[in-house]
Amino acid sequence: MMAENSGLEKLDIGALSPEQQEKLRQFKIKTRIANEKYLRSHPEVEVMLSGFLREVFLKRPVDIREFAADHFNDPDLPKTIHSKIQGNSD
């Protein structure tokens, strides 16, 4: 009932002006480029994520949050990542 009195129910919040659409498009392009540059300069991110996803698909944990916490808190993780990066660059 409160929403009926807010005056917002008739607004199309998803509608952007052409200028806003272009600004959003440019923002998305710049963000994607920045993300690509970051990921290329940090290959460990891909190694961490692919290793985590591989383990998730193999083990199919019931509690994904606990599994993730254990996975990323593994004291051997940095060593594992480093050896995989070294192996990938050879």
The model's pTM = 0.62
pLDDT tens, position by position, 23-67: 999 999 999 999 999 999 999 999 999 999 999 999 999 999 999
How far apart CA 68 and CA 42 sit, in angstroms, is 21
Nearest to 67 by CA among 51, 79, 83: 51
Provide the CA 12 distance to its chain's centre, in angstroms: 28
The number of beta carbons lying within 10 Å of the beta carbon of residue 64 is 11
* Contact criterion met (CB below 8 Å) for 71 and 55: yes
Q: What is the model's pLDDT at position 90? A: 43
